[in-house]
Amino acid sequence: MKKKILEIKDLKVSFSLNNKKGNAVDGLNLDVYEDEILGLVGESGSGKSVTAYSVLGLISEPPGKIESGKIIYNGTDLLKLSFEELRKFRGSEIAMIFQEPGSALNPVMTVESQLAEVFNAREKTDGKEIYEKSVELLSQVGIPDAGKRIKEYPGSLSGGMQQRVMIAMALAGNPSLLIADEPTTSLDVTVQAAILDLMLKLKEQNKISSIVLITHNLGVVAGTCGSVAVMYGGKIQESSSTKEIFLYPLHPYTKLLLESVPVFGKQRGDDLKSIPGSVYGIYDNPPGCKFYGRCPAQKKECGVTEPPLKEIKEGHFVRCFLYE
Amino acid sequence: MKLKSREIKNTTFRRRWNKFKNLKRGYYSFILLAALYLFSFVLPVFIGRDALLVRYNGQYYVPLFKHYSAETFGQKLFGEANYRLLKIKFSEEGGNNYVLMPLYPYGPNENLLDETRGTPPHPPSFSHWLGTDDRARDVLARLAYGFNISISFSLVIAMLSFLIGTAAGAVLGYFGGKTDAFGQRVIEIWSTLPLLFIIMILSSVLRPDFFILCVIMTLFSWTGITYYVRGEVYREKGKDYALAAFSSGANGSSIIFRHIIPNSLTPVISFAPFAVVANIMSLVSLDFLGFGLPPPTPSWGEMINQGMGNLHYWWLSVFPLAAQFLTLLMVVFIGEAVRDALDPREYNRTVRK
Amino acid sequence: MSNILEINRLYVSYPSGRSGIFSRGSITAADDFSLELEEGCSLGLAGESGSGKSTIARAAGNLLKFNNPGVRISGNIVLKVNGEVYDYARLNREERAKLRSYVQFIFQDPSGSLNPRFNIGEIIQEPLKHLTSLGKSERKNKVIDLLELTGLGEEIYYRFPHELSGGQKQRAGIARALAAGPKILIADEPLSSLDVSVQAQIINLFRKLKNELNLTLLFVSHDLSVIENLCTDVAVMYLGKILERGKCGKVFSNPGHPYTKALISSVPVPAFSENKRERILLSGDIPSTLTRPQGCVFAGRCPEASDECLKTVPPLEVKENGREVACIKRL
């Protein structure tokens, strides 16, 4: 049995706007084990980013609020920590990279000084040492000519290079867990392939223990992750190993999601299955299963009570009344 | 084909208005100020020297709308009748004649030397709530009439200069290139002209009245808004809906006026209240310096000037300053609320993925 | 089948940096670019960002002259509809309006392409207003038909863009494009800002409309799986040039150009496989269009490049099975 590195228990995060209040994350349970890449899959509005932000204490309050739950990292409940204590966890234990590397980097600071800032926040070391460490890190993340590139400003780097710099900054604190929020969405396919390759390599080389890869792209998950959790309506709907999810999906949402994306080399010219309707906003909160309105296999009870997340096979959890 | 003719008016304006209504401080300031401004147009009914109704020898007169000479009512005075004295006379006489006066029966420009004791200025009293000034004119009446002039003046200038500024900005932003480069230089040169000196020169040549002052001020205040509109139009033109309109076969004027300008007015609207503040201030300053509206127009600047000259008579400076302070405060509150109502950030920040 | 649109030796460049007297060189977005659209075909234009595929789409839609100060265009684009020939460079007022109604455009960002102050009915009416002589009630009826056709339903008529979901907005954008009765539909990355579950709906809608209305489709996308699913033909672009084009089936099952190979190997496939797929990772980035390479545009990143590739520009030549490849190694 592998060790749990991160355990999210019954997390509820609400957002309020114009006197309306809704749960973006609504009773989420998620375990991240050591030495794995977990894919957190969901459409926009499913609450996947909010989950990630909650782990790092980045939910701005107001309008957001963590209502209840526990986020246990290696035995410490992160939600009980003070701001200052949490700050020490960020970067050194858990690091995060974002969708838009261009806007996550400061445009008026060189790569070198931004990296130096990360090092300085950890320990006071002398400038020469930091410089050498930085260059080493940049070459590790596959930036050619790192000694020269380190002097440049983010604006003169391409999107792919910027994301590599972000990864280098994330690695600078030597964290065990990396949360990547749609890290390749804004990048070209060839660059995306290279970044995903890099993340796999970093894990193989034990530079990082676990990665949570948040994405909407099932293709990215299939090629990279060992296990998958599918989110919808602020909840995990199904989770299992990648093999299980792609070969034997159980939840109607997962099934439809897999059938609605064109698979390269298959289904040429055929109509795709599509999910009727669209995700509703977090402020209208119907009772029952979150997918009820769009589900082709809906039963009466689905609209009344919400099914629990159940382990159907070993390690395969599903939240649906079809499996009881 | 059937289509319910039910129109759901969920326009951008409606949404912003609702948001504005939720910003209580600004919303109530707006209601209050708007009510006061509308009220100031019917001011003669409540504050003024002319009687609302006179019954004299079985006949009815409405002096509010028509001037009557003193002889009409048998007063031994030159010029217009003095209805306050007439009222006293009638009540002393008894009989059927009567005079219905406004609630506060003093006009803004009337010299009350004959009806007051001692030398002006008179301190606040029961009959003159805020006292009188050094020419024995009622301060409250002058303040009230001055309010209308201040607000009208600033609204007219704001509207005219925004009209010109928006048109000029839209032309520069839409056509860009050489038109833009040339137009911007012209505007820069224009805005370096010293306003105060020009007004001083002009007011020595021609006697400035409300209209001329409006024109002069407009000529100097339209430039500021062009930069914002120009930038906004330039940005909006780059958006896909403008290109979509082009692709739909729309011509230039349709793209500018129907598509781009309505979407570029956000800065104009959010600046409007602050422009009103600036205009009120400039009229006050001009009046204070004596280059503004000609005497005896009841203007706040002139009143503050008088207060400065008569510092011992505290009511001459305290009340005009307080009135101006409160008005500007309310306009600023409105401005803040408008700015927040137009700010889409609250939506963007909360609706995260 | 005859060609409905022909692009001949098109060259498009934008001024870089400041426009006007201080301009410093130019960015070439299309370089000696030729492409024919057969009537009734659906061509997928694939490429990474910076490849110039959007520029080609806009050029074909006659949209380059709007808000592109200093753009330089040479070469010619010709539209052939019902025996009439329209040369893009020489259009009078009447012809321009006709061309607009024959060629319509669908934008990448459905939110940005709908005027936020118009309701959906007004938005879809725009082309009818400017390009047809229909009266008010006829226009309204036509809009309602279009709403039905695109799967929106007439209750959307009085809604405003912000009240619709992304998928609905894109449907409205498509309805607007269809309003004037176009022959060619040009779609510039119409799916990239939509959710995965909605993308399928829109892909199916495109297929349905193309078949029902007998349209010719120019579909710009970076997503090869979508192009494979929707299109009959594909053209792969890189730095303003076509590197390979042909029938989807042939190009994708047996790519001829090294770049196509790399692109295909990077497509994320949402299916489980026990053994990891071999990815061809390209070194470096797509070079800046300011400094164009001398020889083959792809030579700098090509795993198979030789010295000769750096010197000679390979022409786009017909290889086996009617497929065209621009690579000297494939002679």
Chains with ≥3 CB–CB distances under 8 Å to C:
A, B
Q: Which of A158-162, A310-314, B192-196, B343-347 is predicted with the least confidence, judged by mean pLDDT?
A: B343-347
- Do B3 and C19 lie within an 8 Å CB cutoff? no
Backbone angles phi and psi of A71, in degrees to 5: -125, 100
In this prediction the pTM is 0.84
Whether pLDDT at A18 is above 80: no
- Do B353 and A64 lie within an 8 Å CB cutoff? no
Of A158, A189, A260, the CB nearest to C196: A260
Q: Strand, helix or coil at C325?
A: strand
Whether pLDDT at A163 is above 90: no
Of A15, A45, A53, the CB nearest to B350: A15
Question: What distance in Å separates residue A135's CA from the closest CA in chain B?
Answer: 34
Q: Which residue has the tokens 């007063």?
A: B75
**Residue B138 has what DSSP assignment?**
B
Chain B hits for C127, CB-CB cut-off 8 Å, are 248-249
How many contacts (CB atoms, under 8 Å) link B and C?
A: 92
- Do A16 and B350 lie within an 8 Å CB cutoff? yes
- Do A17 and B347 lie within an 8 Å CB cutoff? yes
How many contacts (CB atoms, under 8 Å) link A and C?
A: 143
Q: Which of C229, C263, C288, C289 to mutate to test the interface with A (most CBs of A within 10 A)?
A: C229
Looking at chain A, the whole-number percentage of residues with pLDDT higher than 70 is: 96
- Check CB contact of A15 with chain B, cutoff 8 Å: yes
Structure tokens at B242: 């403008």
pLDDT per position as a tens digit, A100-121: 888 888 888 888 888 888 877 7
Beta-carbon count within 10 A of C170 CB: 30
- Write down the ipTM of this complex: 0.90
Whether pLDDT at B29 is above 80: yes
- Do C268 and A246 lie within an 8 Å CB cutoff? no
Beta-carbon count within 10 A of B165 CB: 25
Residue of B nearest to C98 (CA): B249
Average pLDDT, chain A: 85
Q: Are strands C184-188 and C103-106 parallel, antiparallel or unpaired?
A: parallel
CA angle (A155 as vertex; A153, A157 as ends), nearest 5: 85
State residue C140's pLDDT score: 93
Q: What is the mean pLDDT of residues A136-159?
A: 84
State residue B350's pLDDT score: 33
C-alpha to C-alpha distances, B197 to B193, B204, B208, B218, B342, nearest whole angstrom: 9, 11, 14, 15, 37
Whether pLDDT at B265 is above 60: yes
- Do C49 and A188 lie within an 8 Å CB cutoff? yes
Whether pLDDT at B164 is above 90: yes
Residue of A nearest to C204 (CA): A271
Q: Which of C266, C274, C283 to mutate to test the interface with A (most CBs of A within 10 A)?
A: C266
Q: What is the mean pLDDT of residues A73-97?
A: 84
**Residue A50 contacts residue A28 (beta carbons within 8 Å):** no
Q: Are strands A76-77 and A64-73 parallel, antiparallel or unpaired?
A: antiparallel
Of C204, C268, C284, the CB nearest to A220: C268
Whether pLDDT at B343 is above 80: no
Of C20, C97, C129, the CB nearest to B181: C20
Per-residue pLDDT band at C281 (split at 50, 70, 90): confident
- Do C167 and A221 lie within an 8 Å CB cutoff? no
Q: Which of A182-186, B11-15, B244-248, C165-169 is predicted with the least confidence, judged by mean pLDDT?
A: B11-15
Residue of A nearest to B346 (CA): A17
Q: Strand, helix or coil at B307?
A: helix
- A299-318: buried (b, 16+ CB within 10 Å) or exposed (e) per residue? eeebeeebbebeebeeebbb
Q: Which residues pair with C187 in a beta bridge?
A: C106, C219
Q: Kindly report whether the peptide bond that precedes residue A307 is cis, defined as omega within 30 degrees of 0.
A: no
Structure tokens at C282: 């390209």
Q: Which of A86-90, B144-148, C204-208 is predicted with the least confidence, judged by mean pLDDT?
A: A86-90
Tell me the residue length of chain B.
353
- C255-268: buried (b, 16+ CB within 10 Å) or exposed (e) per residue? bbbbbbbbbbbbbb
State residue B349's pLDDT score: 35
Residue C194 burial (10 A CB sphere; 0-12, 13-18, 19+): buried
Backbone angles phi and psi of A31, in degrees to 5: -115, 135
pLDDT per position as a tens digit, A189-211: 888 888 888 888 888 887 888 99
State residue B352's pLDDT score: 32
Whether pLDDT at A324 is above 70: yes
Looking at chain A, the whole-number percentage of residues with pLDDT higher than 90 is: 11
Q: How far apart are CA C4 and CA C41, in angstroms?
A: 10
Structure tokens at C53: 């595929």
Q: What is the mean pLDDT of residues B170-194?
A: 90
Q: How far apart are CA B291 and CA B282, in angstroms?
A: 11
Closest alpha carbon to A102 in A185, A173, A175: A185
Chain A hits for C253, CB-CB cut-off 8 Å, are 265
DSSP string, C64-121: TTSS-TT-EEEEEEEEEETTEEEETTB--HHHHHHHHHHEEEE-S-TTTTS-TTS-HH
Chains with ≥3 CB–CB distances under 8 Å to B:
A, C
pLDDT per position as a tens digit, C28-42: 888 889 999 999 999
Looking at chain B, the whole-number percentage of residues with pLDDT higher than 90 is: 28
Backbone angles phi and psi of B311, in degrees to 5: -60, -25
CA dihedral C93, C94, C95, C100 (to 10 degrees): 90
Residue of C nearest to A257 (CA): C197
- Check CB contact of B7 with chain C, cutoff 8 Å: yes
Chain C hits for B240, CB-CB cut-off 8 Å, are 107-109, 112-113
State residue C249's pLDDT score: 87
